[in-house]
Amino acid sequence: MYNKLCRAAAVVTLLCMITATLFGCSLKPEADPSEAGSSAVPANADPYTIETWGGNQSNETGDNNAVGSVPQTASAERTKATEKTQVRVTIPEGYSFMQIANLLESKGVCTAKDFYDVCQSYSPKSFSIPSSSDRCFKMEGYLFPDTYDFYIGDSPRSVLIKMLNNFHAKVGDIDDDTLILASMIEKEARSSEHMRLVSSVFHNRLRTGGDYKYLNCDPTREYVNNYITGNPLVTDQSKYAALYNTCNKRVGLPAGPICCPGLKAIDAARNPADTNYYYFFYGKDNTNHYSETLEEHNRQMAEIGVGG
């Protein structure tokens, strides 16, 4: 008789276990949230596979891990957790460092401040970038204008390295003065057809000096006004204003590039046209005009008018 009762009890227990498995019941008591140190979620549970714990909850967010639904697998959740959203960023030729930093921030890649901090402290191993305290933005000129694929919330260092690698691959070895000159040509020429002529004016002035010691490049003054003066990232603004403004303040080249030039401007800086021009201006007829003397320069400006 006793053996029959034991066998019956075993059958009942087995049926309860099967029922619990089929209908989601638990033979264990729920953890008491009021007990110190207790939790309804096991401490060693994998957070990617846990269902939503703690009773019947509405599934307002559409989470497939709500009670009563099939939980996502660990691999699927890990993939979701590590997914990164790509964003394509196009940097035009002639963009300044600050324009690029602000563009990256607007695209959600990284903040302008974080990018600035990384750029000011980073030194590439494959080629040299001047780190003089006279330079306002260390990486100005070296962020090659191109189309890049970054990630939302990307590492500023990774973003910088990608741009520098592209610069080194496309430009190769270049001395800093040539890059500075290319940045001025990029901003002055208005079109690629005029780049070598503009380059010749700057080369002639730099070579001759004397009465031509000031390059009088208006974009250098605009650079100071737009990106140095009033910029909270720049501490000694009056110092940099004097180092970059070539309009009767800075003799010769500015202390650093004023934008990130493209290949055509760089080529023009390396290979200026052979001229005797010392002056040029952009006329109201939407083209550049060149002259060898100040008298001719003034006459042309009076006849044609200076464009915006």
What's the pLDDT at 49? 29
Q: Are residues 270 and 183 in the same domain?
A: yes
Q: Are residues 265 and 160 in the same domain?
A: no
65 assigned to some structural domain: no
Domain that residue 133 falls in: 86-171
Last residue of a domain, one of 117, 139, 171: 171
Q: Are residues 98 and 149 in the same domain?
A: yes
Q: Are residues 184 and 288 in the same domain?
A: yes
- pLDDT tens, per residue, the chain with 308 residues: 445 444 545 444 544 444 444 444 443 333 333 333 333 333 333 332 222 223 333 333 333 333 333 344 445 544 444 578 999 999 999 999 999 999 999 999 999 999 999 999 998 877 788 888 999 999 999 999 999 999 999 999 999 999 999 999 999 999 999 999 999 999 999 899 999 999 999 999 999 999 999 999 999 999 999 999 999 999 999 999 999 999 989 999 999 999 999 999 999 999 999 999 999 999 999 999 999 999 999 999 999 998 76
- The strand pairing partners of 282, in sequence order, are 288
Q: Amino acid identity, residue 20?
A: A
21 assigned to some structural domain: no
**Where is 280: in which H helix or E strand?**
strand 279-282
What's the pLDDT at 123? 86
Q: Are residues 138 and 212 in the same domain?
A: no
Q: List all residues 6 or more positions away from 57 whose beta carbon is below 8 Å from its beta carbon.
A: 66, 67
Cα torsion 220, 224, 225, 226: sign? positive
What's the pLDDT at 82? 54
Q: Are residues 196 and 160 in the same domain?
A: no
Q: Are residues 130 and 214 in the same domain?
A: no
40 assigned to some structural domain: no
73 assigned to some structural domain: no
Q: Are residues 107 and 186 in the same domain?
A: no
What's the pLDDT at 243? 98
What's the pLDDT at 7? 55
Contact 141, 164 (CB under 8 A): no
DSSP tag of 306: B
Last residue of a domain, one of 139, 171, 203: 171
Q: Are residues 184 and 298 in the same domain?
A: yes
Give how many domains the chain has, as a whole number.
2
Q: Are residues 149 and 183 in the same domain?
A: no
